[in-house]
Amino acid sequence: MTLPKGFGSGGSGASSADVEKMIGRRVENMTGIITLSYIAAWLATFGGTAAGYFYYPWAYPTPSGHYAFIVLTIVESIGYLFCIKVMEEGTKKKSNGILAATLGATAVGTVLISLFVGI
């Protein structure tokens, strides 16, 4: 890999320290921001379906909104799981606790919202 001027030792390949200096931050340390992004996406999904529940109930029946909310939550959860697991591949970091807590909380939240919202 050819590095910009000032990075790496002459002629040899790039080390992980050189790549880290060029990028600025390693992805293994971004579990928090990815988790916050997932939670924000889940809340935005609820906000979008809540508009159908409360403002347009004649256009979007409640069971249809629940179905959309559940399916979109599953899709977002799979994406979050893959992001965290691919990000940590090859490292010694383990964020299984954060992953389990976040997915568990959104699963419980999804069930509660589907049971009690839009009745």
59 lies in some domain: yes
Domain assignment present for residue 16? The answer is no
In a domain, 68, yes or no: yes
Residue 54, C-beta contacts closer than 8 angstroms, at least 6 positions apart:
118
Distance CA 55, CA 71 (A): 21
What are the pLDDT tens digits along the chain (119 aa)? 565 666 555 555 556 666 666 665 667 778 899 999 999 999 999 999 988 888 888 888 888 889 999 999 999 999 999 999 888 877 777 888 999 999 999 999 999 999 998 76
Q: Is residue 15 part of a domain?
A: no
Q: How many domains does the chain have?
A: 1
Helix or strand or coil: residue 5?
A: coil
Q: Which domain holds residue 77?
A: 27-116
Write down the pLDDT at residue 22: 62
Residue type, 30: M
According to the model, what pLDDT value does residue 106 have? 97
Q: Please state, in angstroms and rounded to a whole number, the distance separating the CA atoms of residues 80 and 64.
A: 24
Query: Which residues have a Cβ under 8 Å from the Cβ of 13 and sit 6 or more positions away?
Result: 1
- Confidence (pTM): 0.76
**Is 81 within a domain?**
yes
CA distances from residue 56 to 43, 68, 69 in whole angstroms, order as listed: 19, 15, 15
Q: Are 41 and 78 in contact (CB under 8 A)?
A: no
